[in-house]
Structure 1
Amino acid sequence: MEISYTPIGRVRSPYDTPEDVIHDEVSETGGEVVLEEEYEAGLEGIDGFSHIVVFAHLDEINESQLTARPPHVDDLEVGVFATRSPHRPTPLAQTVVELLERDGTTLRVRGLDLVDGTPILDVKPYVPLVDEEDVSVGWFEDR
């Protein structure tokens, strides 16, 4: 089965290539999520959220791997589905960013880890679940 999506917008970012993204510094990286004009009504009410979840297609990722080495964890290799590695069988990104401002279909954000021009597939408000405090984060707990 083949599934296809039409992007609803693009990212404006200071990063030109995936190699330019410095993951230790993205918490301060500013950028914009710019949706097509036809989706402006869909952004009504998003301004009230401090953070949003951006779903994107990693169109510059050309290879996938079934295992990955997480950054900052020595001598650990795990399955790609247990990581946030971009080198996935389906190069789909999910990233949470701080929403600073909305101007029409432009969302100014901080914490962006996507390359300039990355196609946006969806935007959702970030809503932490209060009743899910007892969670396990696998190998990440040792980080």
Structure 2
Amino acid sequence: MASSNQPVTVPTDASVEDFLAAVPGERRRADAERLRAILAEVTGEPAVMWGPSIVGFGSYRYTYASGRTGDWPLAGFSPRKQHLVVYLVGGFEERYAPVLARLGPHKTGKGCLYLKGLDDVDESALRELIDRTVRVHKGVDRASDPGPVA
């Protein structure tokens, strides 16, 4: 049993291919595969399982104001039952409102973008959100980053 000081969401050796092959529903599985390809292309990083249900790409080190540090994917996603959850930079809703306006149907949460599917989404807007997230996490964008939300 992991102690409460140990992060749960860390890179694992689990197979991304096996995880995605087990996603229920043909449409959800196809969207997850497509999203994996988009994230790999935009980030330039291979897909790695982070914990049991997040497909992450690359990593960055964050530090909270409290001094606590950790690692998190540059960008990632999880094909949940109700939505595809894309993990982006915290505060992206305010930072990139014009891009979100182009995106199409979506919901947002703290650092999370919720999509029902990819068919109604503007892929160029999605790619831009991912690219901007990666740039912030790599320190290329001057915007401050509060760290992961999970």
With the shorter chain as reference, the TM-score category is: under 0.3
Q: Which has the higher strand share?
A: 1
Higher helix share: 2
Bigger relative contact order (CA 8 A; separation at least 6): 1
TM score, norm. by length of structure 1: 0.26
